[in-house]
Amino acid sequence: MSYREDFFRMLDGKTPVADVMYSRMGVYEVEGEVLGAVAIMPELTGFGFFDEEGKNAWGVPHEIDVNGTGFMPAPGKFILKDITKWKDIIKAPYRYDYDFAAAAEREMAAQPWDPETQVSSLMYACGGYFLQLASFMGFEGAMFAMYDEPDAVHELLDYICDYDIWIVENYVKHYKGIDVMGFGDDNATEINPFISYPMFKEFLLPRYKRVATKLKENGKIVSYHNCGRCEDFMDDMVDIGVQMWNCATPVNDLAGWKAKHDNKVILEVMPRLYPEASEQQIRQQVHDVIDAYAPGGAFIWIGSASSMNPEHGKIDVWAYDEVKKYGKGFYS
């Protein structure tokens, strides 16, 4: 069985034939090997789209953390103080002059794949409604706005979603042959969601549904990224068409969730791999994660140091080497 054949077996709720499947978040090679799933993070909406002042396309200043492992809106430099004034400040970064066709040709050629044996995905097209609001106002400001001025929040989120639909329409049109298209929104911490379930249903789910529906209408497999303890929301995400949970972390009851959904939603599991861990610890962690979540299928290892620091690359090398070794013939 090829990677592609086993992938579609898993979408049908079936067990793969041979090996544990693996991919990588936003990076495509480990020591020169192109991984089984080929991912594109478009330059227009992917990571690394900050200008020389560290601002993203929406004008929000960002900072890299001290370890080089991630970035976030610069603390205390929020651009929106009063949600009722959002129309005066927030401007969607429509790029009507952007050559989507040329970008698609360039980015897809840079990551060639065999459509007969591999799976292609386009990651992070859009969808960060909670994080987008928080990046404009800060977490406290965003949550107070939901309570104090819900109508204004709905207007702003619809405005963001309209832009996202425009992006998706262009991606679908120009990035031809892509199997999976994804969106994401980290609306949960390692312990609990940032907001209540009723607020998720009111403010976030309708916009997620618009994006998922647009992707489904265009024949795409829908992937949703959320790396916090968000299982409270994930049944609803499946209901709107999500077929892959990208960067699902073991802070959620992943084994129970797999069983609940009859192995028909693929978990791209991302355990936390820490830079201070030894090689032996990393390799044992690979065994533990595969043993816990791979049986029955619906599992892709996407563990990563999630780091922009090249000094941490050894962790990925150890992990992927062990996934290949321990996962070889796991299902046969």
The count of other CB atoms within 10 Å of the CB of residue 20 is: 23
User: Which alpha helices (DSSP H) does 149-253 contain, by range?
Assistant: 150-174, 197-199, 205-217, 231-239
CA angle 289, 3, 267 (to 5 degrees): 35
d(CA 107, CA 96): 19
Please check the confidence at residue 34 and state whether its pLDDT lies above 80: no
Q: Are 232 and 193 in contact (CB under 8 A)?
A: yes
Asked whether residue 332 is assigned to any structural domain, the reply reads: no
130 or 272: which leads in pLDDT: 130
Catalogue the E-assigned strands of the chain. 21-22, 29-30, 33-34, 37-40, 62-64, 71-73, 119-126, 180-184, 221-225, 244-248, 266-269, 299-301
- Concatenating the DSSP letter of every residue in 90-127 gives ------TT--HHHHHHHHHHHS---TTT-EEEEEEEE-
> Which range (33-42, 132-141, 144-153, 194-203) has the least confidence?
33-42
Asked whether residue 64 is assigned to any structural domain, the reply reads: no
Asked whether residue 58 is assigned to any structural domain, the reply reads: no
The pTM of this model reads 0.93
Domain count, the chain: 1
Asked whether residue 213 is assigned to any structural domain, the reply reads: yes
Structural tokens at position 16: 């793969």
Question: pLDDT tens digits, residue range 194-206?
Answer: 999 999 999 999 9
DSSP classification of residue 188: B
Sequence-distant (≥ 6) Cβ neighbours of residue 267 within 8 angstroms: 244, 245, 248, 254, 257, 258, 293, 298, 299, 300
Query: In sequence order, what are the beta bridge partners of 21?
Result: 300
Please check the confidence at residue 92 and state whether its pLDDT lies above 60: yes
DSSP classification of residue 203: I
Confidence band of 49 (pLDDT split at 50, 70, 90): confident
Structural tokens at position 99: 């050559």
What is the radius of gyration, based on Cα positions, of the chain? 20
The average confidence (pLDDT) of the chain is 89
DSSP helix/strand/coil, 85: helix
CATH value at residue 32: 3.20.20.210
Residue 8: CA count within 13 A, CB half-sphere: 12
CA 57 to chain centre: 19
Q: Are 156 and 85 in contact (CB under 8 A)?
A: no
Asked whether residue 290 is assigned to any structural domain, the reply reads: yes
The count of other CB atoms within 10 Å of the CB of residue 277 is: 17
Nearest of 158, 163, 244 to residue 202 by alpha carbon: 158
CA 103 to chain centre: 21
Sequence-distant (≥ 6) Cβ neighbours of residue 58 within 8 angstroms: 90, 91, 92, 93, 132, 135, 136
Q: Which domain holds residue 320?
A: 3-40+78-327
Asked whether residue 52 is assigned to any structural domain, the reply reads: no
- Pick the most confident of 37-46, 47-56, 177-186: 177-186
Question: pLDDT tens digits, residue range 5-29?
Answer: 999 999 999 999 989 988 866 544 5
Q: What was the pLDDT predicted at 158?
A: 98
Asked whether residue 57 is assigned to any structural domain, the reply reads: no
Asked whether residue 101 is assigned to any structural domain, the reply reads: yes
221 or 66: which leads in pLDDT: 221
